[in-house]
Structure formats: C-alpha cells, structure tokens
Amino acid sequence: MATRRSPFERGWREYAKRVGAFSKVHREVADYYNAKVKPTAVNSLHIILQTFRDAASKRIRVGGKPMRYEQIATVWVDGERKVAADDRLPSLLKRAGITKTRLGMLLRNNADVWLLTTD
C-alpha cells in the first residue's frame, strides 16, 4: 500500500511557516526509534503514525487471522527517506510483490509505502 501524503504534512507546513524548523528533539526521538524499534521514521510524527497503524491493524481480522502492519519506507516533505533495514527489505519487497526499483518509483509520489499481511 502507498499513502500519497502524510496526514501530518499540512500541520507540519503550517508549523514551519509560522514557527520555523522542528526542534532537533523530533529527529533525536526518531533516531532512537530507528535504532531500537525499526529504521523507518524520519521524525517523531512518523513514530505516531506507524504506532497507530500497527495498533489498528491488530484489530482487523481476515479469515479469522489478525493483520500485521509492516512499514517498508517513508519519505518526508523535505525529501528525506527512511527505508526498512537491509536485512529485512528483500523479504518485505517480495511479500509486497514489488522490486527495489518500483519502491523508488513509489516514493517519488507517495509519503509511505507499507504492507498489510495476515500472520
């Protein structure tokens, strides 16, 4: 699945216009998340979004099986990208049915590329 725009993009742009750049703590939190959980967050807003999707997917059942959410890649409005770890990326792409080239193409026009699967 691909998400065309981040639901936080409008708020981020408004904040940047009125206040300026995000505090560096947003990136520091994302760096910690990327090191300890999974390397797919550009800033703290992505952590919120990815945590929500993960929790929501666990409530959905298809054929009696729970859904599982996997973030493949994220790109922020400034162009910064985060992609799943090199050891996990090939299996995620295979399950998604896309190539690394296709992932790059999706990230040109979308904010997130993610996967929903059943266990």
Whether 104 and 72 have beta carbons less than 8 Å apart is answered as no
Distance CA(80)–CA(63), nearest Å, equals 38
Closest CA to 3 of 117, 113, 107, 115: 113
Q: Report yes or no: 75 and 111 within 8 Å, Cβ to Cβ.
A: yes
Contact 86, 97 (CB under 8 A): no
Range of the domain at 52: 2-118
Confidence of residue 7 (pLDDT cuts 50, 70, 90): confident
Question: What percentage of the chain carries pLDDT values higher than 70?
Answer: 99
Residue 44 backbone phi and psi in degrees, to 5: -65, -25
The pLDDT of residue 21: 80
Give the integer Cα–Cα distance in Å for 89 and 100: 9
Q: Distance (Å, rounded) from C-alpha 69 to C-alpha 17?
A: 33
Determine the pLDDT at residue 113: 93
80 φ/ψ sector (left φ>0, alpha ψ -120 to 50, else beta): beta
Domains contained in the chain, number = 1
pLDDT in tens, 70-119: 999 998 888 889 999 999 999 999 999 999 999 999 999 988 999 999 86
Q: What is the pLDDT of residue 55?
A: 92
